[in-house]
Amino acid sequence: MLTEQSPSTIIDFFSKTKWEETKKPIPSYETLLNEVWTEGVKTGMRIAVKTQKATLVKKFQENFLGATNTSELLYSRLNKETNLGCNKMFLKIHNIKIFETLIVVSFDSYLTPNRQKGYEIARQIKNETKNKNFSIIFTFLPETKSLNIKSVSGDGFFFKYAPKSQKVSTR
């Protein structure tokens, strides 16, 4: 019961009791609910991002393996079915789904009808492997003295095909 000598403020009132003011005011139910929801969203986002990242890494690895296998198949078929003289191949990654293989063939055979056969084989392999999650582009280039491997790398072809018979020891 308040009397005329009642405290003028709520703080004065509490100072006369055995209760102390907390450092942080007790949040309302709405505030607590908002904090729980916000923390849940953050946790959910962290889990979703981690899951999405794992899925993307897996899909990229599958597609990269598909691009290398498809390019190796083309290399093998070109050397068996044509006389193009396929000497070198380079792989470029456009994005998680699209890859490009640069096939370097001898200059002399590049100017022959065998080149058309090479394009047909490449088109056939591309159509057999293309789907909504994977696509590969095959580009043919004649080998010339002016072909600069650094320029090829500068164009984004960072992987060079090196079958065991062509591998060079680094020792």
Domains in the chain, number: 1
Give the percent of the chain with pLDDT over 70: 80
In the predicted model, what is the mean pLDDT of the chain?
A: 81
CATH number, domain of 151, equals: 3.30.300
R_g of the chain, CA atoms, integer Å: 34
**SS3 category, 24:** coil
Residue 98 lies in a domain: yes
Residue 97 lies in a domain: yes
Residue 14 lies in a domain: no
Domain that holds residue 84: 63-160
Q: Name every residue whose Cβ is closer than 8 Å to that of residue 143 and which is 6 or more positions away in sequence.
A: 87, 88, 104, 105, 106, 107, 110
Q: Name the one residue in this structure whose structure tokens are 């889990």.
A: 47
- H-state helical runs in 82-142: 107-110, 114-129
| Banded model confidence at residue 169, pLDDT cuts 50, 70, 90 | very low
89: which strand partners?
103
Task: Identify the DSSP state of 171.
Answer: -
pLDDT at 171 over 60: no
Cα angle value 54/57/63 (rounded, 5°): 140
pTM equals 0.68
Instruction: Give 127-145 pLDDT, tens digit per residue.
Output: 998 888 999 999 998 888 8
**SS3 category, 104:** strand
Instruction: Give 51-64 pLDDT, tens digit per residue.
Output: 888 888 899 999 99
**SS3 category, 131:** strand
